[in-house]
Amino acid sequence: MCVLGTRPEIIKLAPVIWEMQRRHVRFLLVHSGQHYDFNLSQQFLKELRLPKPDYSIQLRNARVIPQLSEIISRLGPLLERTRPEYLLVEGDTNTVLAAGIAANKAGIPLAHVEAGLRSYDLRMPEEHNRRIVDHLSTYLFAPTAEASRNLEREHVWGDVVVTGNTVIDACLQHLPIALDRAKTGIHRPDGRFALATVHRAENVDDKTVLRNFVAVFKEAPIRIVLPLHPRTKKRLAQFGLLRGLLAAANVDVIEPVGYLDFLALIYHCELILTDSGGIQEEATAPGIRKRVLVLRESTERPEAVRAGFVRVVGCKKKEILRHLSRKSLGSWKTMGQCPYGDGNAAKRIIAHILEQ
């Protein structure tokens, strides 16, 4: 059984699902409903040619504790009824935590794709989620050697395997399609632009931080294209910042886009500003290779920093703008090889499970 519920999970589990289909492995697909917006969820399932979920949970609450409780209470009876050999999850979302707890209590072995990432920043809900799930997992598929070492230092009891990251599998398979088919012209201005995304709770739920981001986007020395996450849009409106952002001459605020459109935006942009984790990985993929300013105080992707793709610049206006300056960008060292694998992570994951 594969359980997913958000855009990053859909993208990163897609190559695993394709590999199971290729090898005629029977599986059940469960959608938690964590991302209820069509552009953030259903459109990605469609674009990535994934089957319709066998089971969908229509969550009634967006708050964390009721959401976790609801997923666990709905998955529990399903696991008891279907008794899958394994339950497979990816990443660090509320869906992953809830599914991991449900599997553990139902006695179903848990397989965690993208295990071992650590930011050591306990302000991040995701840091708590991934640590708990790693210690519940029977199989831990670490994307890099560093992630594997993190797990070894924590003495996890499960089986750790370094596989590469499945997001690179997805990028390599879909970038040519994206460039050929995605209709990105209406989403990007002529000439140079930077792609920006912000959605993390510790950022957008903080009025001061979100105000800093809006000021940076308005004053940036390069045009900003901003696909606006529903959570971020809600907070901008709540804090009285949305109208000013929409009126900014330097910012193109657009609706969330599908996976193919987003890949094309990453390909065409000059620079990325983001608080996303997955985008830090996608930017390193062969054929993309873009510089990323991470709008956070920490990252669980240190490999991308060392390879020269990523700079962690924090959340303060002055510091972010300093890194956006011509002088700072001009000093950026040459980027190295993609640190997240060769595009065969899904094959390694499924091969390992089938060998057991």
Distance, CA of 142 to chain centre = 15
**Overall average pLDDT of the 28-51 stretch:** 81
Residues 124-180 pLDDT 10s: 999 999 999 999 999 999 999 999 999 999 999 999 999 999 999 999 999 998 888
What amino acid occupies position 21?
Q
User: How is residue 62 annotated by DSSP?
Assistant: -
**Overall average pLDDT of the 236-254 stretch:** 96
Angle at 339 between CA 19 and CA 298, to 5 degrees: 110
**Overall average pLDDT of the 114-124 stretch:** 94
- CA nearest to 263, candidates 338, 340, 170, 193: 170
Distance, CA of 339 to chain centre = 16
- CA nearest to 125, candidates 222, 6, 266: 6
- pLDDT of the residue at 118: 97
pLDDT at 66 over 80: yes
pLDDT at 39 over 60: no
Residues 66 and 72: their CA atoms lie apart, in Å, by: 10
229 is catalytic: no
- 162 strand-pairing partners: 142
- pLDDT band for position 333 (cuts 50, 70, 90): confident
Spell out a b/e string for 216-225, using b for 16 or more CB atoms within 10 Å of the CB, else e: bbeebebbbb
- pLDDT of the residue at 59: 80
- pLDDT band for position 34 (cuts 50, 70, 90): confident
Residues 124 and 40: their CA atoms lie apart, in Å, by: 21
What amino acid occupies position 28?
L
User: H helices of the chain, where?
Assistant: 7-22, 42-47, 64-82, 94-106, 125-134, 145-153, 166-181, 201-204, 207-219, 230-238, 242-247, 259-268, 278-282, 302-306, 317-324, 326-330, 345-355
- Residue pair 290/269 in contact (Cβ under 8 Å)? The answer is yes
**Overall average pLDDT of the 18-37 stretch:** 91
Q: What is the mean pLDDT of the chain?
A: 93
- pLDDT of the residue at 45: 87
- pLDDT of the residue at 181: 75
Please count the CA atoms within 13 angstroms of the CA of 238 that sit on its side-chain side: 12
pLDDT at 287 over 70: yes
pLDDT at 185 over 70: no
- pLDDT band for position 191 (cuts 50, 70, 90): confident
pLDDT at 234 over 80: yes
For each of the domains in the chain, give its residue range(s) and CATH number, in order of start: 2-165+341-355 (3.40.50.2000), 172-330 (3.40.50.2000)
* Count of beta carbons in the 10 Å neighbourhood of residue 311: 17
**Overall average pLDDT of the 298-321 stretch:** 96
- pLDDT of the residue at 51: 94
Per-state percent for the chain, helix, strand, coil, to nearest 5: 50, 15, 40
- pLDDT of the residue at 144: 98
- Residue pair 281/301 in contact (Cβ under 8 Å)? The answer is yes
Radius of gyration of the chain (CA): 20
Q: Pick the catalytic residue from 199, 229, 323, 352.
A: 199
The burial class, CB within 10 Å (0-12 / 13-18 / 19+), for 270 is middle
